[in-house]
Amino acid sequence: KPKRKLTKEEKAKAKAECPFCQFMRAGPCGEEFNKWEDCLEIHEDGDYPTLCSAQTRVLTECMKKHVEYYGDFLPPEDKGEGGAKPGEAEGKAAAPAADTKEA
C-alpha cells in the first residue's frame, strides 16, 4: 500500500511535535538545522543526500563547534573521545617514547 503524502499542515505539526527537532532547533545550530530540514523537505522525492550535502556539512560543522550541546549526536571522533584520525595516535605516542629512550 503506497504511503500518502502529508499535507503542509501535517508536516508542520509533525515538526512541531518532534522532540529531536525541538532539541536541535533550541540549540546554537537551530538555524542550520532548519535550513537542512527545509532542503530535505524540498528534495524528499529526489536525491536529497546529494542535493542537501552542503546543508548537511554546514550543520555537522556547527554541531562539532557546539559539542557541549550536540555531543550525544556526534560520533566519538567528532567529540574528542578517542578522536585521533588513523595514524595520528601512533605519531603522538611515538614522539614521547623516542624522547624517553634518548634520555
Kindly report, residue by residue over 21-48, the tens digit of the pLDDT. 999 999 999 999 999 999 999 998 889 8
pLDDT at position 100 is: 41
* 97 band by pLDDT with thresholds 50, 70 and 90: very low
pLDDT at position 21 is: 92
Looking at residue 4, what DSSP letter applies? P
What phi and psi values does residue 90 have, to the nearest 5 degrees?
-65, -40
> Each residue of 57-81: pLDDT tens digit?
999 999 999 999 999 999 888 777 5
What phi and psi values does residue 86 have, to the nearest 5 degrees?
-55, 130
User: Would you say 73 and 81 are in contact if contact means Cβ atoms under 8 Å apart?
Assistant: no
pLDDT at position 6 is: 72
